[in-house]
Amino acid sequence: MPLLGRIVNNSLPDYVIFFGLAVVLAVVAVLLQGRKRAQQLNALGSKAAAYPAKLPFGVDVLYKLVRHMLQDTFFDFTRELLDNAGRTVELNVPGGRLLFTDNVDNIKAIQFTQFGDFGKGERTHRIWKNILGDSVFSTDGPLWVKNKDELRPHLAKSRSNDLEITEKHTQRLFDHFRQAKPLEVYDVIDRHQLDIVTDIFYGESTNSLVDNEQPFRDAMDTMLRLASVRTILGPLASLFPDWIFARKAYRELNAYMNTRVDRTLALPREDLLKKEQKMNLMETLAVKQPDRKYIKDQLIAVLLASKDPVAITISWLIYELSRRRDVFEKIEREIQETIGFKNHPDGETLKNLPTLKNAVKETLRLYHPLGLNIREAKADTCLPTGGGTDGQQPIGVLKGEQVAYAVMSSQRREAVMGFADVDTWDPSRWESWTPTSSQYLPFNIGPRICLGRVFGHLQMEYTVARMVQEFERIEWCGYAGAAPDDEPMRIKIELNTKFDKPIMCKFTQRSTV
């Protein structure tokens, strides 16, 4: 008997009938919802070019994104994707629609002209909450404004003893360089910056350049790596909670921060107030809002904002200087003529080193330190361009949908930069090239512009200048067997952009110092 007849004659079990009806209703609901979404999107603007999915719900697309993330080819994959599809592409993945763009007009809209339409969103907050908590990097609205205003006085300017503290840890860094054997550059530079940032803002350095064990740093790296993958997974991230899949790192991170915050909170408030302008950030937060979670959230945010971009940029810069002896020697001559090799630089004398400044700017262009940038639409809105058959029409974005934007990719586009050798590191181009704020975004633009950009620039320039003063040669030593030495270095995308292979260099101390 046909199925319909069996249903009519009630010869099928009730549960089979109910299950079948439920499936039919679910399919109808999905189709109706899809139709409604299509109508809403059409009312807002055109559609972007879509990346083809072969499996239902874009499961294969999500798999590709995660695979490229884990294989450190995510940047190459998305760059090729945008080259082929146009500067904005639509990805349909489990959990909804994801837009990916490196169009400068869309990036400007997200960061500045339509800032109120896009935020971090609740999904990002949930994924990163065990690292960033309710800090400036994971919140929106009044709470974000409060966090930003709280941190601005500490990050937007340098303190009188910043360079004194930096020099103390730079001497420990040079102890590693003086071993006259190949060493992994990013490892020691990252530890160097970790020690400086914790010393300045926490009042107590991690001293990771001295100690062999680095549980806090290792825990942070593990948590960041997992959170980056969970970000790509979107709604499926809840299936891979970090407190289970990175249990040891989760405990170590919290133990380290809780111990130091509790120690500060235990100090008499009157004693802290006596220090007035000499209070570090942790002490200031303890006086204003003596709450462990609040203080911990802000301190980790400051650590990530101050340490990672600086350490990454310095490491890329050393990598390029080790292969560009001509640029190294030009910086060397400028230092010799303006500061000398024995006088330590300061904020004023660093201004007289144009080649060093250009080298930093070119490194920030080619190796933009911010990796995974995702915003969520706060309401139904649109991106200004990238839709339609000509790729020039506005693109509708529904409330809750996410847009990922790639600043590094845009800064490597000939059409944006105005020169052909976009993948070549060439500081000399800055002698005659002045980019617009849409072309060059080292610290973002708009209300979420990086609060620590002044501190960051000073750290980059001071560390590299001191390195050139102390060492007359940097020799690139390949990848230490991790890969063939003629293989190009790939970009590893996490919260920040890193290196897929070790940067191995040897430093030769200057004989006149």
For the chain, which residues make up each domain, given as ranges?
Answer: 45-509
More confident: 318 or 274: 318
Query: pLDDT at position 4, please?
Result: 46
Which residues contribute to the annotated binding site? 450
Binding site as annotated, residues for heme: 450
Report d(CA 128, CA 493) in Å as an integer. Answer: 16
More confident residue, 362 or 487: 362
- pLDDT of 30-73, one tens digit each? 554 555 565 556 667 788 999 999 998 899 999 999 999 999 99
Cβ neighbours of 64 (radius 10 Å): 18
Residue 162: both structure tokens together: 């910043």
pLDDT at 18 over 90: no
246-259, pLDDT tens digit by residue?
999 999 999 999 99
Choose the CATH number for 45-509 among 1.20.1250.20, 1.10.630.10, 1.10.150.20, 1.50.10.20.
Answer: 1.10.630.10
Closest C-alpha among 221, 285, 296 to residue 254:
296
The kind and range of the H/E element at 245 are helix 242-245
Task: Check if the beta carbon of residue 403 is closer than 8 Å to that of residue 99.
Answer: yes
Beta bridge partners of 473: 508
Rg of the chain taking only CA atoms, in angstroms: 26
Predicted confidence (pLDDT) per residue in 368-423, tens digit: 998 779 999 999 999 999 999 888 999 999 999 999 999 999 999 999 999 999 99
What predicted TM-score, i.e. pTM, was given to this entire model? 0.91
The more confident residue out of 480 and 343 is 343
Q: How far apart are CA 67 and CA 69, in angstroms?
A: 5
What's the whole-number average pLDDT of the chain? Answer: 90
Residue-wise over 242-258: b if at least 16 C-beta within 10 A, else e?
Answer: beeebeebbebbeebbe
Distances (CA, A) of 94 to 233, 295, 374, 399, 475: 8, 36, 17, 17, 47
Closest Cα to residue 389, out of 37, 46, 45, 41?
Answer: 46
Q: What is the pLDDT of residue 371?
A: 75
User: pLDDT class for 161, splitting at 50, 70, 90?
Assistant: confident
Closest CA to 318 of 165, 410, 187: 187
Residue count of the chain, please give it.
513
What's the Cα-to-Cα distance from 452 to each of 153, 360, 362, 402, 468, rounded to whole Å? 10, 16, 19, 26, 24
Q: CA 339, CA 318: separation in Å to the nearest integer?
A: 21
- Residue 434 CA to chain centroid, in angstroms? 25
Mean pLDDT of 244-271: 93
